[in-house]
Amino acid sequence: MTAPANQFDSLADAILAAGGTTDPSELHGFACGVVAAGARPDKNRWEKELAELMQLDAIPAELNRDFQKLADDSLRQLRDSQFDFRLLLPGDAGLEAKTSTLGNWCQGFLLGFGIGDFQGEMPATSREALEDIGTIAQVDAGTIEESDETENHLLQVEEYVRVAVMNIFTECSGDRNIADDSGPTLH
């Protein structure tokens, strides 16, 4: 369900080297939120928004390049008809850390969706999914009880977020390259 751990770790290293105050999951959620709202990657716009998110005066060129690639890859994955989209979460972490980063991912998504400035009538399913993502963003990872059952529940919530984001993207992004509606529907 998650993106490769080395991508998470390399982005975490780049953020740390820049002195940023966010984690890779929140950054990925932010990028996904912006594109789900219908905005598309734009180097100048992203640089300013990224600096604000990370509370930095300027973004180092390498980190900006990494973020642009993350945003482009996210857009490509969200457009993919094979449902290849994955959340960028740590692969090898404890349950508390996984829970915390999923909450951070959701916070980033909501911020990005707001900055993406969705225009139009939001479908009820997307509105409900955004509310659910808002609830998940408020998770208190410190209250999580370590157990196999809790780990299973976390995986289910992660999958829900993944599918909800793909649905929001499909309904709200204005991107019509996802499916071809010209042919007949087969049952």
Would you state the torsion angle of the CA atoms of residues 126, 161, 165, 64, taken in this order, to the nearest 10 degrees?
140
Among the listed residues 160, 172, 1, 7, the one whose alpha carbon sits nearest the alpha carbon of residue 73:
7
Would you say residue 186 has pLDDT above 70?
A: no
Residue 89 in domain: yes
Among the listed residues 47, 23, 38, 24, the one whose alpha carbon sits nearest the alpha carbon of residue 115:
38
Residue 32 in domain: yes
Residue 114 in domain: yes
- Which class for 57: exposed (0-12), middle (13-18), buried (19 or more C-beta within 10 A)? exposed
pLDDT tier at 176 (50, 70, 90 boundaries)? very low
Residue 180 in domain: no
- Which class for 41: exposed (0-12), middle (13-18), buried (19 or more C-beta within 10 A)? middle
pLDDT tier at 178 (50, 70, 90 boundaries)? very low
Would you say residue 181 has pLDDT above 80?
A: no
Q: Report how far apart, in Å, the C-alpha atoms of 37 and of each of 5, 55, 127, 165 are.
A: 27, 23, 12, 10
What is the domain extent for residue 14?
A: 5-172
Best-predicted range by mean pLDDT among 39-43, 64-68, 135-139? 135-139
Mean confidence (pLDDT) of the chain: 86
Query: Average of pLDDT values for 152-156?
Result: 95
Cα separation, 104 vs 52, in Å, equals 16
Query: Average of pLDDT values for 28-56?
Result: 86
CB-based contacts of 109, cutoff 8 Å, min separation 6: 29, 30, 32, 33, 36, 133, 137, 165
Strand partners, 144: none
The enclosing domain of 110 has a CATH number of: 1.20.120.740
Residue 42 in domain: yes
Residue 185 in domain: no
User: In this predicted model, which residue has the larger pLDDT, 186 or 16?
Assistant: 16
pLDDT at 184 (0 to 100): 33
How many alpha carbons lie under 13 Å from residue 94 in its C-beta half-sphere? 7
Cα separation, 116 vs 113, in Å, equals 5
Residue 121 in domain: yes
Residue 182 in domain: no
* Count of the separate structural domains present in the chain: 1
Where are the alpha helices (H) located in the chain, listed in sequence order?
5-18, 24-36, 43-54, 61-79, 95-116, 124-137, 148-172
